Amino acid sequence: MIEIQKALELITENCRTMPKIELPVHECLGYVCAEDLYAKLDMPPFDKSSMDGYAFKWQDSKIEYINDGIIAAGDSFDEPIEEGHCIAIMTGAPLPFGADTVIPVEITEKAGDKIRFTYPAKKCANVSYKAEDIKKDALIFPKGKIIRTQDIALIVASGYSKVKVSSLPEIAILNTGSEIIEPGEPLDYGQIYNSNGTMLSIMAQNIGINAEYLGIAADDEKSLKTMLSIGLKSDILLISGGVSMGEFDLVPKVLLDLGVKQIFHKVRIKPGKPVFFGKTDKCLVFGLPGNPLSNFVGFELFVKTAVRKMTGSEIVLPVFSEGIISSQFKHRADRKNFYPAAHKNNDGKIIVTPVISHGSADISSLSKSNCFMIADIDKLEYSPGDKIQFLEV
């Protein structure tokens, strides 16, 4: 049995890098950017008005200017503006040559061919200057960052219509267990629904991957062999169940028979101790113990780490946060204990409250949680106010 740090290290050492692809920007959401992006132009690209109003060359205490015309956004005004004159200008239109100030229309009134200010104008007000936001050639988005919704506009405005990103690995999901039944089917005594199948598919979707769902294999070598060999054609094969110590936990044996090289089997964590990790030339294989919390924690810790490494993400390892535990918590685990909990921010203090859980099959405790707090092997009792690490989920 190995420690979690060692397991994460072995995973990252055994990941290959996914090929880069070029995608239209509107398809890039959630992908890891595979190139440093530099602004192809200044932003704004020209001095422009930030208000609907009148552009003019500012003169101290002068409040009446002769109106010479109008510039709409997208237009330009070729003549330099004369002192004492103004031009109606719309938001986003280029400032005419010679003007330095825009007064908003709301604080002006028309007086024949003149515009009178009802409130004094401040010099240089309401102008967005060329390059004041971003200078041409400045780094706007670094390689290794995940492209989020709020980054898209910046990338487009900086002159990009396509971006090089890391392609995402294919994931195949196989559930195992002769007692597991697909949702919607009637249940006989002793059977349970395949909640892991849907959960793992959604967890993959949350990191941008439409996983291939292979179905349920029965706990027999023939069924496992057939379905595992299909799964091994993928970049990542996720298996739920069948990796523990039971008579019918045949997944590791069948994987080895199929030529998978075992890298580890068992990590000193709770839940999820019997997790199996192996690989072929193409495929990384994660065998996650069938209990839903073991599946969930295994995906969060191990599978996500592998995907981040494969896609060149700047952050590879899971990020643990620190909070303060709100209630007494005792555990007997001889393993790092990932316990379902709820964290919230109370006036800047992060308070972590353990959720009542009956163990790694207790799906209701998973649904009540928004993190897993991490109780250490060398601290079996936590008192209110003690610091505790947690993994946000």
Q: Which residues bind ligand AMP (CB under 6 A)?
A: 175, 177, 179-180, 192, 194-197, 240-242, 244, 246, 249, 289-292, 361
Task: Give least dist CB 193 to Mg ion, A.
Answer: 14
Task: Give least dist CB 248 to ligand AMP, A.
Answer: 8
Stretch near Mg ion under the rule CB under 5 A, chosen from 101-109, 131-139, 190-198, 239-247: 239-247
**DSSP 3-state of 48:** strand
Q: Which does 291 bind (CB under 5 to 8 A by kind): ligand AMP, Mg ion, none?
A: ligand AMP
Record the tokens describing residue 335, joined without a space: 């393993």
Contact mark string toward Mg ion, 244..283, x via CB under 5 A: ----------------------------------------
Task: Give least dist CB 266 to ligand AMP, A.
Answer: 13
- DSSP state at residue 68: E
Those residues whose C-beta lies under 8 Å from the C-beta of residue 277, and which sit 6 or more positions away, are 7, 10, 11, 14, 262, 263, 264, 265, 284, 285, 286, 287, 302
Taking the C-alpha atoms of residue 337 and residue 277, their distance in angstroms, rounded to an integer, is: 20
Closest CA to 372 of 345, 350, 354: 354
Q: Which does 8 bind (CB under 5 to 8 A by kind): ligand AMP, Mg ion, none?
A: none
Taking the C-alpha atoms of residue 271 and residue 54, their distance in angstroms, rounded to an integer, is: 67
Q: Which does 240 bind (CB under 5 to 8 A by kind): ligand AMP, Mg ion, none?
A: ligand AMP
Output the CA–CA distances (angstroms, integers) from residue 272 to 165, 298, 328, 339, in the order listed: 33, 6, 24, 12
Nearer to ligand AMP, 123 or 222 (CB): 222
**DSSP 3-state of 168:** coil
Q: Which does 175 bind (CB under 5 to 8 A by kind): Mg ion, ligand AMP, none?
A: ligand AMP
Task: Give least dist CB 290 to ligand AMP, A.
Answer: 3
Distance of CA 183 to the CA centre of its chain: 29
Closest CA to 53 of 134, 122, 131: 122
Nearer to Mg ion, 169 or 290 (CB): 290
Record the tokens describing residue 141, joined without a space: 């988005």
Nearer to ligand AMP, 195 or 229 (CB): 195
Nearer to ligand AMP, 18 or 238 (CB): 238
Whether the CB-CB separation of 127 and 102 falls below 8 Å is answered with yes
Task: Give least dist CB 11 to ligand AMP, A.
Answer: 20
Nearer to ligand AMP, 324 or 361 (CB): 361
Q: Which amino acid is at 93?
A: A
Task: Give least dist CB 317 to ligand AMP, A.
Answer: 26
Task: Give least dist CB 225 to ligand AMP, A.
Answer: 17
Stretch near Mg ion under the rule CB under 5 A, chosen from 46-54, 173-181, 266-274, 383-391: 173-181
**DSSP 3-state of 238:** strand
Nearer to Mg ion, 218 or 393 (CB): 218
Is 177 one of the binding residues for Mg ion (CB under 5 A)?
A: yes
Nearer to Mg ion, 243 or 325 (CB): 243
Q: Which amino acid is at 341?
A: A
Closest CA to 294 of 316, 317, 277, 269: 269
Nearer to ligand AMP, 270 or 309 (CB): 270
Taking the C-alpha atoms of residue 121 and residue 63, their distance in angstroms, rounded to an integer, is: 8
Task: Give least dist CB 253 to Mg ion, A.
Answer: 14
Q: Which does 197 bind (CB under 5 to 8 A by kind): Mg ion, ligand AMP, none?
A: ligand AMP
Task: Give least dist CB 191 to ligand AMP, A.
Answer: 9
Whether the CB-CB separation of 220 and 177 falls below 8 Å is answered with no
Taking the C-alpha atoms of residue 222 and residue 20, their distance in angstroms, rounded to an integer, is: 38
- Interface contacts to Mg ion, rule CB under 5 A: 177, 241-242, 290
